[in-house]
A = this chain, B = another copy of it.
C-alpha cells in the first residue's frame, strides 16, 4: 500500500535497475512516472523517443513494481510554445505567462487541447496495455500556480460560448446579472469580456460565472484525457493528483470521470504557508515540524468524499521541502505518523514524493526518500518501518473490510468558496478558515467526519454541519429536507441565488422552507470589534461576521447582548448567526453530538483519533507523551496506551 514518484529520465540509465530493486526491497509497490517527460518523449515536433521509457517501464516492471503512468501535459516543451504562443495562459492583465517552469498552458487554448490529446493518445497507445501499468494520472496538480483562470484571447472566446450555452439569449444574461445597474448591459454575447482590469469592482456574477466556466474547463480537459486513456488502457484506474487547500475548481465535479481521487500531502508546507486556513501564528510555530493535527486529516476526509470513497496519497512529504515560506524538517517519527494517518482515514495507497532528491533545477531543495547522494534519508527509513508494519494480519483484515460511513458529515462546497472570495464583505473572510473552525471542533471531540458536497444524500449520518453555503441548489434543499438528524447551518447560508443575487425573501432563501427565519442584516467586524453572544450560561465574543435574524416563534438557544437571536432552532435544524469563536463552535458541536447520540470525548490539544473498521488509531502531534483514550479491554496493535512524542497507537476493543 506504499508507492513512490520516480523520474527515470532525470537519472543515468545505469542507476535504474538498482533503484527499482531498492524500491521493492523497501516495501514499495507502486511507482508513478512520466508526468513531466514530454521533452524526453518528443524532443522535436512529431519525433518520438520511446526507447528510454520502454526500458524504464521494463526495468520497473521486472522488479515487481506497478506503474502509475502520468500524461506529460503539465510541461509542454519549448518548441511547442514557440510554435504556438497561443497555448500560453494569460494573467489578469492579459499578459502571457511565459515558458520557464511548468503549467504554462491555458485550458481554453484550442491548440493546446489538440496537442494534449495528441500526446495523451501517443503515451496511452504505447503503454495502455502494458502489464506493469496499473493505472494513470492525468496531467499534474491541475491549477497549481494559479493556472485555473486564464485571461487569454482563447479564454474569452470560450467564455462567451459557455455563457451562450448557459443563458441562450443575452437578455437573459443581462437580467440574471442585473446589468441594468451601472449601464453594464450587453447587446450580444460577443460584447462580453473576461472580468479583468476594470476600473473598480466587477459585477460579482460576472466573476462567479467566469470562475464556474474556468472550473468547467478543467473538468472538460481532464475528461478528454480520461476518455483517451480508457480507450487504450482497459482495466486500469485513472486518477489525478489534486492539491491541498486548493479551491479554484470543483473537485467533486472534476473527479466524476475518474476512478478515484488522489492528493499531494505536504503537511509542513500547508501549516506554514497557507493564509486561508486561519491557523494562528502560534499554531504555525507549534506545529512547524509536525503539521497542524487537522491539516492532513481534513484533506483525507475531503478527498475520500471527492473520490466517492476511494483515494490515494499520490505525493507524501518525506522531509523538508523547497516551496513553503520556511522549510523545516519533519520531527522524527512524523513521516511514519503521516502515512498511518492517511491509511487510518481510508487511503488505499500512500506514495512518497520522490524517490531521490534531485540536485538540480527548481526542486533541488525538496527532500526525497533518498538523499542526492543516494543514501536512504530519514523519511525513507520511516517509510520502511511503515512497510514492515503493513504486513501485519490485523491490517489485512482492516483493508479487506469495506469503508464505514462516519457518524457526522460536513458539507463542503467549492462554489461557496468562490462566492466568499468574490464577496468577502469584510477583510479576512475565508471560507476555509470557517470550515476549519467547525472541522477542528469536531475532531477535538474525537469524532470521525465525512466531507460531502451539497446535494449528496445525508442518509446514515447522525448529524450534519454546514459551515456556510451561500447558494443552496434544489438538490441540496432536498437532501437537507430528507435528513432527519440534527443539522447546524452557519452564516451566509442561503444568502444568494444561483445568479449571485440576494435571495428574494432575504437569506437563508430556499432554506426558509425548512428553517423559517429571515436574515435582515449582516455585518463584518474589524478585529477588535466583537459582539457578545450568550448560549446557555456561557458568553462568547464573536468577531468577523454577525447577522441579525428575525426568527418569529422559533426556539432561540442563544442571543446577542442586544437580544437579537444568535442560535435559532426549528425542530432538528439550527442556524448560528455568527462566526463562532473556537469555544462556541466546540460547545455547539458538543451539544449536537450529545443530542444525536454520537460518542465524543474531549481530546488533548495535540491528539487526534480515527477509526477504520474496528480499529481505533490515535495520533500524537505533540512533543509530550499522551494517553490513548482506549478502554480497559483495548488490545493494542500498534504502540501502547502511552503514546510518545510524534508517535501513534492503534487498538481493537
The residues of A with any CB-CB pair to B shorter than 8 Å are 7, 9-10, 36-40, 43-44, 72, 75-79, 82, 89, 93, 95-104, 144-145, 147, 177-187, 191, 193, 195-206, 272, 281, 284-285, 288-289, 319-320, 322-323, 325-329, 357-365, 367, 371-373, 375, 377-378, 423, 425-427, 499-506, 518, 520-526, 528-529, 548
Contact = CB atoms under 8 A, between A and B. Distances in A.
Given A39-B183, A365-B522, 7 more contacts: A7-B181, A9-B180, A36-B181, A76-B183, A100-B202, A203-B361, A364-B502
Given A181-B363, A326-B525, A524-B328, A202 B101 contact: yes
A200 B502 contact: no
A144 B185 contact: no
A397 to B, nearest CB: 38
Contacts of A357: 502
A581 to B, nearest CB: 17
B197 A98 contact: yes
Nearest to A91: B197
A320 B545 CA distance: 12
Contacts of A322: 425
Contact of A100 (B37, B206, B281, B329): B206
Nearest to A88: B199
Contacts of A364: 178, 204, 501-502
A199 B104 contact: yes
B201 A362 contact: yes
A10 B180 contact: yes
B288 A525 contact: yes
Contact of A198 (B44, B101, B285): B101
Contacts of A548: 329
A39 B506 CA distance: 28
Given A326-B525, A360-B501, A102 B281 contact: no
A196 B101 CA distance: 10
Contact of A328 (B202, B427, B525): B525
A103 B199 CA distance: 7
16 contacts: A40-B183, A78-B184, A99-B184, A100-B196, A100-B202, A101-B182, A178-B359, A178-B361, A181-B362, A181-B363, A204-B362, A320-B523, A328-B524, A364-B502, A365-B425, A372-B506
Protomer copies: 3
Choose among A77, A181, A201 the residue with the greatest number of B CB atoms under 10 Å from its CB.
A181
Contacts of A526: 272, 284-285, 288, 325-326, 328
A187 B372 contact: no
Contacts of A182: 36, 75, 101-102, 361-362
Given A326-B524, A373-B506, A502-B359, A89 B199 contact: yes
Contact of A101 (B36, B38, B200, B288): B200
A96 B103 CA distance: 27
A118 B588 CA distance: 62
B327 A180 contact: no
A181 B360 contact: yes
B504 A359 contact: yes
